[in-house]
Amino acid sequence: MRIGHGYDSHRFAEGRRLILGGIEIPAERGLDGHSDADAVAHAVTDALLGAAGLGDIGRHFPPGDPQWKDADSIKLLAHAVHLLEARNHQVVNVDVTVVAEAPRIGPHARAMQERLAVVMGISPEHVSVKGKSNEGMGWVGRGEGIAVWAVALIDSVEDLSVVTKGHRDGGAS
Ligand code: MG
């Protein structure tokens, strides 16, 4: 098993939709960015790439690349999952903390969990999305943007078969 950590932050901007975890959340402002600025999808993508030792989101999806302009970040996450699968890695679970003064994340957490789970091919029970305020402190507290932390556990399908074979061999001897 391997663990990965991801972090992302985006600044609020007028005239943008707020997309988090692949879900559009009703809000006065959205987040600024080259893609759709889905900080949850970006943090989870980085956690998965980190767990697999595959670098980071900027290496796979350069921010200046025109093909990722206003990109649906769920597609970036899906691409990362494919990269993992090609290396016999499977996502076990993901835990996400979204830090923002507004809007409230809780009412949208379940929808985000379900969307992220489908993309990663796991049960929504294995995806956790939690919202916190920053108690008015710092740039998050001033409502300048949103910060997201994510951790992901992945398992190697290859290693699993080795473990199973080991048990079999052990039982036969
Ligand atoms: Mg980002």
| CATH (domain of 23) | 3.30.1330.50
Residue 160 has pLDDT above 70, yes or no: no
Is 86 part of a structural domain of the chain? yes
Is 167 part of a structural domain of the chain? no
Query: Using 50, 70 and 90 to split pLDDT, how confident is the model at 170?
Result: very low
How many angstroms does the Cα of residue 164 sit away from the middle of ligand 1?
Answer: 39
Which residue has 């992901």 as its token pair?
A: 152
Residue 157 has pLDDT above 90, yes or no: no
Q: What is the pLDDT of residue 62?
A: 87
- 22 — phi, psi (to 5°)? 75, 5
Is 169 part of a structural domain of the chain? no
Residue 107 has pLDDT above 60, yes or no: yes
How many angstroms does the Cα of residue 121 sit away from the middle of ligand 1?
Answer: 22
Is 171 part of a structural domain of the chain? no
How many angstroms does the Cα of residue 21 sit away from the middle of ligand 1?
Answer: 12
CB 131 within 8 A of CB 98: yes
Domains identified in the chain, total number: 1
Distance CA 60, CA 104 (A): 31
How many angstroms does the Cα of residue 17 sit away from the middle of ligand 1?
Answer: 15
Task: Provide the domain limits for residue 123.
Answer: 2-162
Q: Model confidence over 8-66: pLDDT tens digits?
A: 999 999 999 999 999 999 999 999 998 999 999 999 999 999 999 999 999 998 888 88
Written as six digits, the tokens of 76 are 């970036």
How many angstroms does the Cα of residue 31 sit away from the middle of ligand 1?
Answer: 9
Q: Decide which of 71 and 126 is more confident.
A: 126
Query: Using 50, 70 and 90 to split pLDDT, how confident is the model at 158?
Result: low
Is 25 part of a structural domain of the chain? yes
How many angstroms does the Cα of residue 57 sit away from the middle of ligand 1?
Answer: 8
